[in-house]
Amino acid sequence: MKLLLATGVVLLVVVLYTLGFGKGGLLDLWNMQQDIEAQKIQNERLQNRNRELAGEIVNLQKGTEAIEERARYDLGLIKSGEVFVQIVE
């Protein structure tokens, strides 16, 4: 009887250990859920960036103001007849 009880306890411990820490166990499940949440946050950030870039593409395709603005800020270009003034604090 004691041998049967001891065997049952050992089997129970093995099953619980496998359920908690084995492959596909609760620890793996928790880690996967954390990875999923991190991926959702990254996906949302990238979708927002894609929307911003899509809007910028539309602005660049439809009008010259956006192109002129990019040329001024990114390349430092000025129109003929304009005077560039830089204030150094």
Residue 82 in domain: no
Residues 13-44 pLDDT 10s: 888 888 777 788 888 889 999 999 999 999 99
Both tokens of residue 89?
Answer: 């604090």
This prediction's pTM: 0.55
Residue 57 in domain: yes
Q: What is the mean pLDDT of residues 68-88?
A: 81
Residue 88 in domain: no
Residue 84 in domain: no
Residue 87 in domain: no
What residue numbers bound the domain in which 37 lies? Answer: 2-75
Q: Based on the structure, what is the number of domains in the chain? A: 1
Which pLDDT belongs to residue 54? 94
Residue 60 in domain: yes
| 67 contact partners, CB below 8 Å, separation of at least 6 | 60
CA 62 to chain centre: 31
Residue 58 in domain: yes
pLDDT at 62 over 80: yes
Residue 61 in domain: yes
Q: Which of the 8 DSSP states describes residue 82?
A: -
